[in-house]
């Protein structure tokens, strides 16, 4: 696939991440926003393996289902790409679409952020405990996610907590759709990745005043 403005070591990764169904990716049209995943083949130990960025579709090629779009945000790690650059891509490269309200995958907090323990983001790790506070910022969903073995000392170190988009969490673990529908004040836990989420109604969360 040709990516205009990309170096040879930068490509869109088509299959590594969870993505929408093929029929949904093929139905995108001019003006829609889609997220693409650009793989970084030569990175340092602390750099991500891919950079996920939004592209606005400006043209859909007839018969081939191929798209042309404009990069809408400035890359952090890819120096050869810039906001406004033209991108050629196919439905298989779409990592995420804007989910319309009314869709069963839609969440009221989907585009907002959560505080997530670094332990949850480790390879082969899973979220085992999460709760929702009343957020005090517009961009905050109120969700706090943990792997379950964190200590108070670990959680008190801000470097051990990441700010992550809610829909990005669903990319990694679609089973989170169940607890993430919970209102502020709710909490859920499970034993492992294959276990059912259980709501903790007696969890003594202290809600912030609105």
DSSP 8-class letter at 131 = E
Token code pair at residue 68: 């042309």
Same domain as 187, residue 131: yes
Residues 4, 88: contact at Cβ < 8 Å? yes
How many domains does the chain divide into? 2
Domain boundary residue, one of 62, 97, 132: 97
The 10 Å Cβ neighbour count of residue 80 is: 13
For residue 133, what is the enclosing H or E element?
A: none
User: Does residue 174 belong to any structural domain of this protein?
Assistant: yes
Is residue 135 assigned to a domain? yes
pTM, two decimal places? 0.60
| Digit-coded pLDDT (tens) for 54-109 | 899 999 987 777 999 999 988 888 888 899 999 999 998 888 887 777 777 788 88
- Residue 173 within any structural domain of the chain: yes
Residue 3 counted as domain residue: no
pLDDT at 16: 34
- Helix/strand/coil (H, E, C) string of 57-103? EEEECCCCCCEEEEECCCCCCCCCCCCCCEEEECHHHEEEECCCECE
Q: pLDDT value at position 195?
A: 92
In a domain, 127, yes or no: yes
Domain residues for 159?
113-199
45/122 same-domain check: no
Which of these, 77, 163, 73, 169, lies nearest to 116 by C-alpha position? Answer: 163
Q: Is residue 88 part of a domain?
A: yes
Low-confidence residues of the chain, pLDDT below 50?
1-18, 205-210
User: What sign has the CA pseudo-torsion 76, 79, 84, 90?
Assistant: negative
pLDDT at 92: 87
């Amino acid at each position: 696939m040709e990516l205009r403005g990309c170096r040879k070591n930068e490509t869109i990764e088509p299959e590594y991440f969870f993505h929408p169904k093929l029929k949904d990716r093929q139905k995108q049209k001019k003006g829609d926003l889609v997220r693409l995943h650009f793989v970084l083949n030569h990175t340092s130990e602390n750099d991500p393996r891919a950079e996920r960025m939004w592209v606005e579709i400006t043209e859909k090629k007839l018969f081939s289902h191929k798209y042309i779009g404009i990069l809408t945000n400035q890359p952090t790690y890819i120096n050869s790409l810039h906001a406004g650059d033209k991108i050629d891509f196919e439905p298989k490269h779409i990592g995420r679409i804007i989910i319309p309200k009314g869709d069963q995958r839609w969440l009221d907090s989907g585009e907002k952020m959560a505080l997530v323990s670094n332990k949850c983001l480790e390879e082969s790790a899973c979220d085992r405990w999460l709760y929702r506070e009343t957020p005090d910022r517009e961009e905050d969903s109120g969700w706090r996610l943990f792997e379950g073995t964190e200590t108070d000392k670990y959680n008190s170190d801000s470097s051990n907590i990441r700010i992550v988009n809610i829909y990005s969490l669903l990319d990694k673990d679609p089973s989170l759709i169940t607890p993430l529908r919970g209102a502020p004040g709710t909490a859920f836990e499970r034993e492992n990745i294959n276990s059912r989420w259980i709501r903790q109604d007696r969890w003594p969360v202290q809600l912030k005043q609105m």
